Structure 1
């Protein structure tokens, strides 16, 4: 099967920022599993090929140093990207995942269910009193931010300032749209956050242990303990990933239900469908639209040889609408089963916060299916524009208690 070469101007970033990228994804899938894109990149669209390449160790997620310097200059953002778990390879990657997994593993996350439910109820109460809820700013962001702050050990009074800085730092993951002002924000946020988390870590040195990552850090033996810089940068990445994924999953899911009111009625009639609905939201409008990989050596895909050094964009959003895997793939079905979506990626670098994002989303949609009646939009929704993440900036609803 040959790769399409007719549209080299296409980019994954362009597709991800569209209001509706799915017709373009369908066109690309029809042309074959691989398509040429700008700058010699490859776009991969079919579910089978994307799933295989997510697990192919010949592809790595660390970008060449020349690329990161070109987009970020010589500021602290380059060092940050080089230290986070997303760009590391074993054995460093293994150590980082093991440590972070202690706080984000499924057994730990399940114990947070009551705490997350109480936090969601507290956020929803004032919205129900006034009859209006912005799903993004009043629920889908503050809920995961509070939970991740608890996991790291950030005191309540410090959280607004920390969040402001983390939002500035998050621009480092949208290289395609960076402006000089964004670079200044990144370069100002990182030193402040480094100093803050290093001090937080220092304070916990004399009282190791406990449920927070800052407390767990000092439980490690001196030989197993991460370097402070590695710990700090990966806590910042965890903070970013923790609220980004949940924000996209919740806001995209609510928007999908607004566009498919029959599925919302179905969910209200049978709240037991909430877990499968969350999986369907991950498939239907994935919060992570694409992931980038670099070929460390030549890789042959569907009869096409990808040369070493080429970048490969795995389009999760396109793979999740592949009709050879998902019957009636363009239709939202909150009871879809089976549902082998790739909404959280896969392989070595699959999303660390999957269990936490799933739990928070289930909690939210249980409320929206039960205690909260969504009357409809209260104002136009505002789509966020990002090169790889799909969500909303604002999603105002008219609501009332049921």
Structure 2
């Protein structure tokens, strides 16, 4: 009898503290690990990248899965309606509509606006901190920048953004592989509050259309009677969340990594054109979203084992991005890395809707860093937001100090 694979426990504190050490152990033990009840876990790049595109796997889960993961409450219906957890044909229809508000062409046209927002936020943060003072990358930039941009795209008024933010943060809990019982109430309450808020916006846009995502969705609904109001509202809530969570974590990761790798920061400041590959490297090095799951619709074979229909496959994106079989020196941060076939945005028909937006905002921040007259230095301990699914931060204190720009070799 074959030996059973090792087990991956997503709730193990060691995973939150240092997931990459755990991932290395999983990869060394084999291509398939056991997860929670009914789950199998995949950690190698070759398998993860292939399975992300495998049509035998779906993103539409049976009701009992959501019940197990999040407990009874409004978050369950929300998760069943959003584009992320739909398969064709519903997914195809919803994605086609939403992609119009997150298309690469539109994102390119947003670049000047995003750059202006980065400059504004950092100028205001430095003015508040004063000469030699400390600012918080998360509170002053990584969170408000993507929230401002996605609110602009969706049509959320300036005056409401501060009220919306805390509920959007709580919504992140609903997307965990497993939501601890003590966090479930907050996730359900966040869904309820955001639904009520978006529903009022939808009513307003129905009377006064504008050039935003909500108005686009209302126009699509008028042409598609089967597109019900509840689905529209829940998908606006989801897109608001998707439009900032990944980018907030990407910007936070970039700052944190550069503070720990001053030579890489010096290289970026010496060669600002590296902002483009640097974004991809930060996405790989500490993926904003560490794992995604797929529902097995038809049996698949992995390393000689058959994973039966009805099971859940957990694809460890963060582990795949550190697989030495695919990346040279994967534990090394290298902003010149090319090619960089990371899987941080998933793949296949469920490739991240907000990918282009995250890249535009990430590049804008790195270009600001490359040209800024001050160099960021650590001003205290960073604080992570504990999560297995997201690599998120609560606080990254920095001090911006005027400094000469050293020329450095191109090696990391």
TM bin, normalised by shorter chain, reads over 0.9
> 2:76 maps to which residue?
78
Q: Residues 1-400 of structure 1: matches in 2 within 5 Å?
A: 5-8=4-7, 10-14=8-12, 17-129=15-127, 130=130, 131-174=133-176, 176-180=178-182, 182-208=183-209, 210-220=210-220, 222-224=222-224, 226-400=227-401
Paired positions, count:
398
Q: For the residues of structure 2 that align with 1:401 and 1:367, how far apart are their CA atoms?
A: 14
Bigger shift: residues 388-397 or 120-129: 120-129
State the secondary structure of the residue aligned to 1:322: coil
Q: Following the alignment from structure 1 to structure 2, what is the Cα–Cα distance between the partners of residues 40 and 194?
A: 31
Q: Show structure 1 runs of 5+ residues with no match.
A: none
Segments of structure 2 that go 5 or more residues without pairing to the other structure are 404-412
Matches of 1:125 and 1:238, distance apart in 2: 28
Describe the superposition over 1:4-56 as per-residue Cα deviations: whole angstroms up to 9, x where unpaired.
73533x22453784222212212221222212234242211111110010011
Q: What SS does the corresponding residue of 1:154 show, helix, strand or coil?
A: coil
SS in 2 for 1:339: coil
Q: Could you tell me how far 1:301 is from its partner in structure 2? A: 1.6
Alpha carbons of structure 1 residues 7 and 371: separation in structure 2 relative to 1, 3 Å: same
- Given that 2:16 and 2:387 are in contact with CA atoms closer than 8 Å, whether structure 1 keeps it comes out as no
Please report the TM-score for the alignment, with normalisation by the length of structure 1.
0.93
Over 3 Å counting, the alpha-carbon distance change for 1:17 and 1:385 in structure 2 is: farther
**Greater Cα offset, 168-177 or 332-341:** 168-177
Q: CA deviation at 1:175?
A: 5.5
Distance 1:284 1:106 in 2: 23
Aligned-residue offset at 1:329: 1.6
**1:177 Cα deviation from its structure 2 partner:** 4.0
SS at match of 2:399: strand
Segment drifting more, 103-112 vs 35-44: 35-44
The answer to whether the 8 A contact 1:285-1:317 is kept is yes
| Partner-residue secondary structure (3-state), 2:250 | helix
Please tell me the root mean square deviation across aligned C-alpha atoms, in Å. Answer: 2.0
* 1:80-114 CA distance string (max 9 Å, x none): 00001111011110111111101100111111111
CA separation of 1:40/1:344 partners in 2, compared to 1, >3 Å: closer, same or farther? same
TM-score, length-scaled by structure 2: 0.91
Distance 2:27 2:296 in 1: 22
Question: Per the alignment, do residues 25 and 189 of structure 1 end up closer, same or farther by CA in structure 2, a change over 3 Å counting?
Answer: closer
**Helix, strand or coil: the match of 2:222?**
coil
Relative to structure 1, is the Cα distance of residues 4 and 334 closer, same or farther in structure 2, using a 3 angstrom cutoff?
Answer: farther
2:214–2:236: 8 Å Cα contact kept in structure 1? no
Q: Cα distance 1:239–1:219, how it changes in 2: closer, same or farther (>3 A)?
A: same
